[in-house]
Amino acid sequence: LLIEMGEMVYKQVEDGLKCLLNLDENLAMQVIANDSKVNQLEIKIDEACTHILATRQPAASDLRLILCVIKTITDVERIGDEAVKLGRNALKIIKSEHETRQFNELKHLGEHVLSNLRQSFMAYASLNVESAIVAMQQDKQVDEEFDNISRLLITKMMEDPREVKNALRITWCARALERIGDHGKNVCEYVVFLVKGKDVRHASTEQIKKALAE
């Protein structure tokens, strides 16, 4: 069920980026509408985990698995929420009088985020710690690209005040993509915890490698 939810959310992000880049109104509305399916699946998985905890009283690695799934679905659901933001902002840009085209940078950022997200979900499905660490390392590049886009858009707003509204909307889209990257990184941290039993939240990749080597 969690893998199914991950695939659904990945498609949501992919479509959210596509509707923004192509200014596709129908696809944007579809992304917004599909969020309820993600939410329903989160509730279904949560209920299944609660049932297992109540009836089977899992211990050791089994308990760790259930706890990780409960934590992971929260991050995955929030990725879906960020995808909805892409759709909503796409609709606002489509309906605006001044069309801003600062999309090349967003395209690159979005593709990078999608690649990292795919690797994060695959690492979780295969319980591959090495792959999870690589995905965590790559999140730094997402942060750098987000900073670059923010600087470009601030310059654009200063040069042409008419572009402020749409430039802000694109900034919010870039922020949504950056946050998707952060949630993907969290999923990788749960992989490490699930496999190695070590809580590596708020630790750098260097600290994580050192902790795993001990």
At 195 the pLDDT is 93
What is the tens place of the pLDDT at every residue in 153-170? 888 888 888 888 888 999
Taking the model in full, what pTM does it have?
Answer: 0.93
Mean pLDDT, the chain, whole residue set: 92
What is the tens place of the pLDDT at every residue in 39-72? 999 999 999 999 999 999 999 889 999 999 999 9
At 161 the pLDDT is 83
Other residues' Cβ atoms within 10 Å of the Cβ of residue 55? 8
Cβ contacts of residue 37 below 8 Å, gap of 6+?
Answer: 8
Share of the chain above pLDDT 70, in %: 97
* Half-sphere CA count of 128, side-chain side, radius 13 A: 13
Q: What single string gives the DSSP state of each residue in 23-82? A: T-HHHHHHHHHHHHHHHHHHHHHHHHHHHHHHHH---HHHHHHHHHHHHHHHHHHHHHHH
Q: End-to-end alpha-carbon separation of the chain, Å?
A: 34
Q: For residues 103-107, give the mean pLDDT.
A: 81
What is the tens place of the pLDDT at every residue in 131-146? 999 999 999 999 999 9
- Tell me if 180 sits within 8 A of 142, measured CB to CB: no
Is the predicted pLDDT of residue 104 greater than 80, yes or no? no
What is the tens place of the pLDDT at every residue in 3-48? 999 999 999 999 999 999 998 999 999 999 999 999 999 999 999 9
Higher pLDDT, 105 or 111: 111
Is the predicted pLDDT of residue 100 greater than 60, yes or no? no
